Amino acid sequence: MSKKQYTLLVVLVVIAGFLAGVVPAHGQTDSPDIDLPLPAPALRLGWQRITIPDVGTIDIPPSMEARSERFAEFARKAKKDVLHMGDEYLIRGVVIQQKGRNELRPEASEVYVRIILETDFVEAGEAETIDTIRSVSKAELRELSDGFREAITQELTQVGGFRIIEWYPPALQVINGMQALCISFKRQWRDNPPVIVKDYRFQNYDRIHHLTMSYRESEREKWLGDFPAILSSFRITNLQQGRSVLGPDGGISEVLGENWILTFIMSAILTWGIGLAPPLLIRYAIARKPTSKGVAIGIVIGFWFFNLILFIAMGSQSKTHFALFLVAMASYYILRAGAKTPKRRGQLPQARADTKGPNESKDIRFS
Residue 281 lies in a domain: yes
Q: Are 297 and 10 in contact (CB under 8 A)?
A: no
CA distance 296 to 289: 12
pTM of the predicted protein model: 0.59
pLDDT in tens, 201-212: 999 999 999 999
The burial class, CB within 10 Å (0-12 / 13-18 / 19+), for 323 is buried
- Widest distance between CA atoms in the chain: 123
Enclosing domain of residue 155: 32-236
List of residues 6+ apart from 309 with CB closer than 8 A: none
Read off the pLDDT of residues 247-304 as tens digits, 9 standing for 90 and up: 444 444 544 455 556 666 776 776 677 778 888 888 888 988 888 888 888 888 888 8
**What is the torsion angle, in degrees rounded to the nearest 10, for the CA atoms of residue 17, residue 239, residue 211 and residue 199?**
0
Residues 21, 49 within the same domain = no
Phi, psi values for residue 238, rounded to 5°: -90, 75
CA dihedral 4, 7, 8, 12 (to 10 degrees): 170
Q: Considering its fold, how many domains does the chain have in total?
A: 2
Mean pLDDT (whole number) for 324-333: 82
Question: What is the structure's pLDDT at 352?
Answer: 47
pLDDT reading at 25 higher than 50: no
Q: Give the chain's end-to-end CA distance (angstroms, integer).
A: 26
The answer as to whether 355 is a domain residue is no
Instruction: Tell whether 356 is covered by a domain.
Output: no
Same-domain check for residues 137 and 222: yes
Confidence at residue 27, expressed as pLDDT on a 0 to 100 scale:
45
Average pLDDT over the chain, rounded to an integer: 78
Query: Does residue 350 have a pLDDT over 60?
Result: no
pLDDT confidence bin for 323, thresholds 50/70/90: confident
Examine the domain organization and report whether 215 and 314 are in the same domain. Answer: no
Give the per-residue pLDDT at 363: 44
Least confident of 103-117, 173-187, 271-285, 307-321: 307-321
Q: Is 204 in the same domain as 224? A: yes
Q: Do 172 and 306 share a domain, yes or no?
A: no
Query: Tens digit of pLDDT for each residue in 218-261?
Result: 999 999 899 999 999 999 999 997 544 444 444 445 444 555 56
Average pLDDT for residues 65-70, to the nearest whole number? 92
User: Quick check: 210 and 119 in contact, CB under 8 A?
Assistant: yes
pLDDT of residue 207: 94
Query: Using an 8 Å Cβ cutoff, are 53 and 69 in contact?
Result: no
Residue 346 lies in a domain: no
Q: Is residue 340 part of a domain?
A: no
94 assigned to some structural domain:
yes
For residue 54, tell me if it sits in a domain.
Answer: yes
pLDDT surpasses 90 at 118: yes
Q: Are 14 and 53 within one domain?
A: no
